[in-house]
């Protein structure tokens, strides 16, 4: 039985990954900073959790020592699109300090594999590295720190970079949940002109990608010189096209003020394309099918009007 330790297990992607791995016969344990955070996902109640304190390295050592993972999925992060000065310390603590404590503890306990989550926003204007915002800059800073541990301690690292993700039961402040809320309420949405291309990947494809990377690591099929693995859809589409597809699949009408707000200063108009494909993985669920699955989920739970 493969053993996984997941940080960020109380988040949307982490909770779905844990459920996916459990169904596939894995033993799964989680790292959390607050047990209250898992209450929104009752299905995670049977999983063993390890409390860690960002200011106490020994808590990370204990978590790894007790869980004995074959691989760590490091999903925990703090995402802020446009930061304010008061966000800086939290971004550094969550996206750099937390991960560094984790990797240091890995090396102390002899755990050799970690799958780290990056972001396509580390590659503004399709650059090899140009951060869209401070969040993506902290993600790259942690990647650089891991290079030190890889060189000195020989740990195996795979950084998997995500674009936009969506799926059933998503309560995040993301595009699709926002469209669902607008469809329920009838309130006007104030959006940009809507010509930016967006790369959306359904949650089932995302968690399949993580498991594929882990299995590739076990089989020594991951080239550690490649750092730009990405979980990407086959074809990005514009925000306007996404909204039109949503309205079609949900049989909904949305009150949208297109162009009511300007594009952000560093709006990603064309997503990053110079990434490496994950060996053995491809997108299986196109947007129309994914939205249909969400619509059926919403109807089943009687959440749509």
In contact, 74 and 113? CB cutoff 8 Å: no
Helix (H) or strand (E) holding 258: strand 256-258
| Cα distances (Å, whole numbers) of residue 19 to 4, 25, 42 | 12, 10, 11
Domain spans of the chain? 3-165+200-231, 169-199+234-271+285-300
Tokens linked to 34: 């607050």
Reduced to 3 states (helix: H, G, I; strand: E, B; else coil), residue 177 is: helix
User: What is residue 222's predicted lDDT score, i.e. its pLDDT?
Assistant: 75
Determine the Cα–Cα distance for residues 9 and 210; give it in Å rounded to an integer: 13
Q: Which of 220, 93, 202 is nearest to 158 (CA)?
A: 220
Reduced to 3 states (helix: H, G, I; strand: E, B; else coil), residue 305 is: coil
User: What is residue 304's predicted lDDT score, i.e. its pLDDT?
Assistant: 45
For the sheet with 27-32, list strands across it: 48-51, 27-32, 3-7, 71-74, 113-119, 156-162, 229-231, 276-277
User: What is residue 41's predicted lDDT score, i.e. its pLDDT?
Assistant: 61
User: What is residue 226's predicted lDDT score, i.e. its pLDDT?
Assistant: 61
Phi, psi of 4 (to 5 degrees): -120, 140
Strand pairing report for 200-202 and 164-166:
parallel
Determine the Cα–Cα distance for residues 249 and 6; give it in Å rounded to an integer: 34
Which CATH architecture fits 3-165+200-231? 3-Layer(aba) Sandwich (3.40)
Determine the Cα–Cα distance for residues 23 and 207; give it in Å rounded to an integer: 12
In contact, 32 and 102? CB cutoff 8 Å: no
Q: Which of 281, 257, 278 is nearest to 188 (CA)?
A: 257
User: What is residue 35's predicted lDDT score, i.e. its pLDDT?
Assistant: 75
User: What is residue 34's predicted lDDT score, i.e. its pLDDT?
Assistant: 85
Determine the Cα–Cα distance for residues 2 and 19; give it in Å rounded to an integer: 14
Per-residue pLDDT of the chain (305 residues), as tens digits, is 999 999 999 999 999 999 999 999 999 999 999 877 666 665 666 799 999 999 999 999 999 999 999 999 999 999 999 999 999 999 999 999 999 999 999 999 999 999 999 999 999 999 999 999 999 999 999 999 999 999 999 999 999 999 999 999 999 999 999 999 999 999 999 999 999 999 999 999 999 999 999 999 999 877 666 667 999 999 999 999 999 999 999 999 999 999 999 999 999 999 999 999 999 999 999 999 999 999 998 775 554 44
Per CATH, domain 169-199+234-271+285-300 is 3.30.420.40? no
Residues with Cβ < 8 Å from 195, sequence gap 6 or more? 238, 239, 240, 269
């Amino acid at each position: 039985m493969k053993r996984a330790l997941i940080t960020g297990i109380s988040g949307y992607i982490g909770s779905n990954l844990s459920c996916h791995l459990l169904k596939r016969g894995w033993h799964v344990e989680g790292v959390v900073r607050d047990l209250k955070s898992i209450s929104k996902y009752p299905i995670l109640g049977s999983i063993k959790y390890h409390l860690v304190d960002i200011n106490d390295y020994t808590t990370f050592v204990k978590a790894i020592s007790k869980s004995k993972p074959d691989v760590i999925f490091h999903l925990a992060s703090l995402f802020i699109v446009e930061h304010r000065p008061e966000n800086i310390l939290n971004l550094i603590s969550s996206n750099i300090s937390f991960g560094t404590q984790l990797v240091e503890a890995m090396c102390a306990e002899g755990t050799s594999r970690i799958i780290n989550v990056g972001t396509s926003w580390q590659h503004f204007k399709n650059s090899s590295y140009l951060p869209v915002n401070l969040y993506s800059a902290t993600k790259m800073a942690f990647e650089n720190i891991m290079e030190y541990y890889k060189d000195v301690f020989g740990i195996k690292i795979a950084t998997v970079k995500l674009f936009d993700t969506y799926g059933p039961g998503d309560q995040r402040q993301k595009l699709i949940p926002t469209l669902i809320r607008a469809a329920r309420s009838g309130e006007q949405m104030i959006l940009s002109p809507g010509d930016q291309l967006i790369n959306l990947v359904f949650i089932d494809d995302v968690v399949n990608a993580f498991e594929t990377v882990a299995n590739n690591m076990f089989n020594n099929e991951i080239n550690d010189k490649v750092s730009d693995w990405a979980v990407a859809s086959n074809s990005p589409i514009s925000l306007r096209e996404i909204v039109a597809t949503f309205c079609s699949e949900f049989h909904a009408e949305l009150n949208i003020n297109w162009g009511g707000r300007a594009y952000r200063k560093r709006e990603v108009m064309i997503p990053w394309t110079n990434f490496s494909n994950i060996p053995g993985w491809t997108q299986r669920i196109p947007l129309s099918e994914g939205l249909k699955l969400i619509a059926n989920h919403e109807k089943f739970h009687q959440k749509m009007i």
